[in-house]
Amino acid sequence: MSHIKNLIPSTVNPDLQNERSAAEFNVEEFSAWWHGGHDKLKKKREIEKAIFSDLEDGYGLNHEYMSHEEVYNSTVKKVAEAAVKLKALQNKLNPGGTDIWPGGLFNAQSFGLFPANHPVATHITMFVDVIKGQGTAEQVEKWGKAAENCNIIGTYAQTELAHGTNVRGLATRADFDPKTDEFVLNTPNLEAYKWWPGGLGHTANHAMVVAQLYIADVHHGVQMFIVPVRDSETHMPLPGVDIGEIGKKLGMASVNQGFLGLNHVRIPRTNMLMKFAKVERDGTFKASPASRINYLTMVYTRCLIVSQNSTLLLAAATIATRYSAVRRQSPIEPNQPEPQIIDHVTQRLKLFPEIATGIAYHLATEYVWEMYAQTVQEANNGKFERLPDMHILSCALKVLCTTDGCAGIEKLRLSTGGHGYLTAANLSNIYGNAVAAYTYEGRTRYFASSMQLKEFPKWDDSWQCIIKALQYTAAHKTRIAFENLANRMASGQSQGVAANNTGIELTRAAELHGRQFVCQTFLEQITGAKAQKRSPALNKILENVLELFLVQTVLNNLNDILRFIQLSDADLRSLQRRLEDSLEQFRPNAVAICDGFEFHDRVLNSVLGSYDGNVYPRLFDSAKRSTMNQKPVQTSFETYLKPLMKAKL
Residue 74 CA to residue 65 CA, distance in Å, equals 12
The rounded distance, in Å, linking the Cα atoms of 54 and 623 is: 23
CB 262 within 8 A of CB 185: yes
Q: How far is 167 from 298, CA to CA, in rounded Å?
A: 11
The answer to whether the CB of 332 falls within 8 A of the CB of 339 is: yes
Alpha-carbon span 42 to 30, nearest angstrom = 13
Three-state SS string across 517-586, please? HHHHHHHHHHHCHHHHHCCHHHHHHHHHHHHHHHHHHHHHCHHHHHHHCCCCHHHHHHHHHHHHHHHHHH
Give the 3-state secondary structure of 351-367: HHHHHHHHHHHHHHHHH
Catalytic residue status for 69: no
Which residues in 60-95 are b (16+ Cβ under 10 Å) and which e? bbbbbebeeeebbebbbebbeebbebbbebbeeeee
Q: Which of 52, 113, 2 is nearest to 618 (CA)?
A: 2
Measured CA to CA in angstroms, residue 494 lies from 479, 491, 497, 502 at distances of 19, 9, 5, 12
Determine if residue 58 is left, alpha or beta; phi over 0 gives left, psi from -120 to 50 gives alpha, anything else beta: left
Q: Is 103 annotated as a binding residue?
A: no
Q: Are strands 156-157 and 206-215 parallel, antiparallel or unpaired?
A: parallel
Instruction: Answer yes or no: are the C-beta atoms of 433 and 415 closer than 8 Å.
Output: no
Distance between CA atoms of 63 and 78, rounded to whole angstroms?
A: 11
CB 528 within 8 A of CB 436: no
Determine whether the annotation assigns residue 418 to a binding site.
Answer: no
Q: CB-based contacts of 462: which residues, under 8 Å, 6+ apart? A: none
Dihedral angle sign, alpha carbons of residues 159, 257, 201, 603 = negative
Order of all β-strands in the sheet with 258-262: 194-195, 258-262, 241-245
CA atoms within 13 Å, Cβ hemisphere of 90: 17
In the DSSP assignment, the letter for residue 165 is S
Task: Select which of 354, 441, 511, 598 is catalytic.
Answer: 441
Q: Which of 74, 170, 79, 175 is nearest to 122 (CA)?
A: 79
Binding site feature residues for FAD: 159, 198
- Residues at the binding site are 159, 198
The residues annotated as belonging to the active site are 441
